[in-house]
Structure formats: C-alpha cells, structure tokens
Amino acid sequence: MSDVTVAGGRAAWPERLGAEGAWHPPDTRRVLQLALAAIWLLDAVLQYQSFMFTKAFGQMLAGTAAGNPGAIASPISWDARLVEHHVVLLNTIFATIQLLLALGIAFRPTVRVALAASIAWSLGVWWFGEGLGMILTPSASPVNGAPGAVIIYALLAVLLWPSDRHAAAAPFTAARAVGASAARVLWLVLWGSLAYFALLPGNRTAQGLSGMVGGMADGQPGWLAALDNHAASLLAHQGLAASIVLAIALAVIAVGVYLPVPAARATVVLAIVVAALIWVFGEAFGAILAGGATDPNSGLLLILLALAYWPVRKPPAVVAPAAAGSAAREAAEGEVTP
C-alpha cells in the first residue's frame, strides 16, 4: 500500500494511521456496555420476527399473567389485549425502541440517555411482558429464566452506568458507578434469589427439572433437542437432589463477591459455568433456534453480569486528563466524572 493510499483515503478509518493515531481501545466497562448493546440489537431483530406480528404474540404476553396476583395480572391482560388488537403497530414500535436502545448505547454521546431509557423500558417489559419474571408464581425457576431476563438488562444498565464516582476503590467493573458495597448487595440479592427459586416446591419434585429441560427440546434443531433430552433423562427422578445442588452452587456464587480475591474469582467462574449450563440446557439459547423467542433469556445476561464482577488486581485509578484532547475524548465517551 502506498503512502498516498494511507494518507489520503484509507487513513480515513482510525486503524489506518498506525500506532500514533490509532483507535483508542475501550476499557472493560465500555466493552461490557457494547456487549449489552449487541444483545439489545439481537432482541430488536428477534422482535421483528413474523411470529411477533401475529395474535400469538399477544397471547404469549397474556400467558405471563397466569399465576400472578390480580394486581399484577390485570394490567398484563389489558396490555395483551391491546397488543392483540394493534399488533402490527405496537410490535413495530417495540422492535424499533429496542433497536434505538442498542444503537444509543453503542453511540457514545447517547450512552447515558440510552442506558436510562433501557432501565425504564426493561422495567415495563418485566411487568407487562414477563409477568415480573414469574417470581410471584410457584413456577419460578432459575432454569427457566427467573427472575426474568429483562430485569438483568436493567441491572446491567445501572452497574455499567458511565460514572466513576467510586472508581478509585472499585474492586471490579460493576462497582465503578454504584460503589463496591451496593454492587455486592445487588449481586447477593440476585444470586440469592436464584438459589431460593431453585428450592421452590415445583422445582423440588422428582420430575420438576427434568420436565423443564426436556420441554425445551420441542422445535429445536436435532443436536440441541438431543442435548436437552439427554440432560432431561439424567435429571429424571433426581429433582430434589438436583435442586439442592443447584441451590448450593447459586448460594456459593451469591456470597462469592464477599470472599478474598482468589475465591471471588473462583465463584465468578462458577457463576459463568452455571449460567452457561442454564442457557444451553435449561433455556436452549433462549429458544431462539426454534423461532418465536423475544430475547436470548437470562443465561447470556448472567454471564455478562458475572464478567462485570471479575475482580481486578488493582482498582483503577481515576487519572486526571493530561494529554491534549483528553477532555474532548471524555466528552465523547460520555464518561466525565460528575
């Protein structure tokens, strides 16, 4: 490549200028924000599927009212009827909102607005679209997505908020915005609730988990159906033992963030492994491959969340802008410390 090429045109993209003018790689939090944006983007395109433009989408929403208290269920039923009657218009709006959230998080000047909007949107969807993740029903289980995938989007938006109020003492990325104590409490509550759900009576029955995992095989590609069926047969008649083991693992994960760094790392790894197992076997990748899924379900989000809690050796120091142009850089990042 000639120098002319480099300077005149291909230099147009950052990496073309070589080391001096190279693209400034994002930090860990920004990488996690981008992963969150990518998942929102995936959600958006899932929402554009043909199934979502049918009355079946409204009926799916209505199904989340079942088992919930009346005060929760009635608005869900009302919303579901509304969606059924105006499914094309409303679903187009839903999908477009999610697309804008994805693009907004990825575009640095709008990251704050988009993250804030994603929290509001997630809370709305958690109620009207997921029936509060079914946490108030006896059928809640960490294996089928409780406490609701979408509430984890909101949690991630809070933890990945571009603020460095607590950066100086942050032992992991999730603590930078809200502080280590608050971040640890949020982790404890989330994983602790998962441990609790694992021990609900419905999950302790002999065939509870087996039926749940086996039920995910319907409509999946052959290899995934075989995986689910195999896992279901392993769990057959082992519901109580499997629930207890799962609950213990989740409880260990829940307290892991309070342990010394090596142990905390081990529990984060355990969290990633458990979340991956839930995502593959319990959720069949959110049933995306079967069609008709609205999101990748909770497993993928739990993995992303765990990565935000990976302990760092040294808490990142808040560096005062020194180099020329750093103020503009921070403004563009949307990460100026308040």
Partner 1 sequence: MMGIPGFILDFFAALMLLVAAVSAGRLVLDLPWRRGVMDVDIDGAHVLMGIAMAGMLVASLSTLPNGVWTVIFAVMTAWFAWCVYRESRGRGTRVLVDSHHAPHLVHSAAMVYMFAALTAPAAGHGSGMAGMGGASGGMPTLAVPVVAFIFALVLAGYAVMDLDRLSGPTPHGSYLAVPASTVPAAAALVGAAAAGGSVSAAVASAGPAGTEGGVSTAAAAGEASPGKPAGDGGGAAGSARRLLLDPRTAAGCRIAMGVTMAFMLIIMI
Residues in the site for partner 1, rule: CB under 8 A? 2-18, 20-26, 30, 34-35, 37-39, 41-42, 45-46, 48-50, 53-54, 88, 92, 99, 102-103, 105-109, 221, 223-224, 285, 288-289, 291, 323-326, 328-333
Question: Both tokens of residue 300?
Answer: 């993928």
Q: In three state form, how does the secondary structure of 90-143 look?
A: HHHHHHHHHHHHHHHHHCHHHHHHHHHHHHHHHHHHHHHCCCHHHCCCCCCCHH
Nearer to partner 1, 13 or 260 (CB): 13
Looking at the Cβ atoms of 163 and 238, the one nearer to partner 1 is 163
Cis peptide before 296 (omega within 30 of 0): no
User: Based on CB atoms, which residue is closest to partner 1, 197 or 279?
Assistant: 279
Cα separation, 248 vs 267, whole angstroms = 12
Shortest Cβ 1–partner 1 spacing (Å): 8
CA 19, CA 139: separation in Å to the nearest integer?
Answer: 55
Distance CA 233, CA 211 (A): 9
Instruction: Report how far residue 39's alpha carbon sits from residue 303's, in angstroms, rounded to the nearest whole number.
Output: 12
Question: What is the spatial distance between Cα 197 and Cα 140, in angstroms, rounded to a whole number?
Answer: 6
**Helical H segments across the chain, by residue range:** 3-8, 28-47, 55-63, 70-85, 87-106, 111-128, 149-159, 175-178, 180-198, 201-204, 208-215, 222-235, 239-256, 261-277, 298-308, 326-333
Q: From the CB of 281, what's the least distance to partner 1, in Å?
A: 15
Min dist. Cβ of residue 155 to partner 1 (A): 19
If the CB atoms of residues 53 and 180 are measured against partner 1, the closer one turns out to be 53
> From the CB of 30, what's the least distance to partner 1, in Å?
7
Q: Which is nearer to partner 1, 88 or 248 (CB)?
A: 88
The distance of closest approach from Cβ of residue 42 to partner 1 in the complex, given in angstroms and rounded to an integer, is 5
Q: Which is nearer to partner 1, 102 or 150 (CB)?
A: 102
Residue 314 DSSP class: S
What spatial distance separates the first Cα and last Cα of the chain, rounded to whole Å? 45
Based on CB atoms, which residue is closest to partner 1, 242 or 287? 287
Amino acid present at 337:
T
Minimum distance, C-beta of residue 25 to partner 1, in the bound complex (Å) = 8
Shortest separation between residue 125's beta carbon and partner 1, angstroms: 18
Shorter beta-carbon distance to partner 1: residue 108 or 184: 108
**Whole-number minimum distance, CB 53 to partner 1, in Å?**
6
Q: How far apart are CA 192 and CA 213, in angstroms?
A: 22
Query: Distance (Å, rounded) from C-alpha 134 to C-alpha 284?
Result: 19
Which C-beta is closer to partner 1: that of 247 or that of 293?
293
Rounded to the nearest whole angstrom, what is the least distance from the CB of residue 43 to partner 1 in the complex? 10
Angstrom distance (rounded) from CA 271 to CA 253:
6
Beta bridge partners of residue 311, listed in sequence order: 172
Residues 6+ apart with CB under 8 A from 4: none
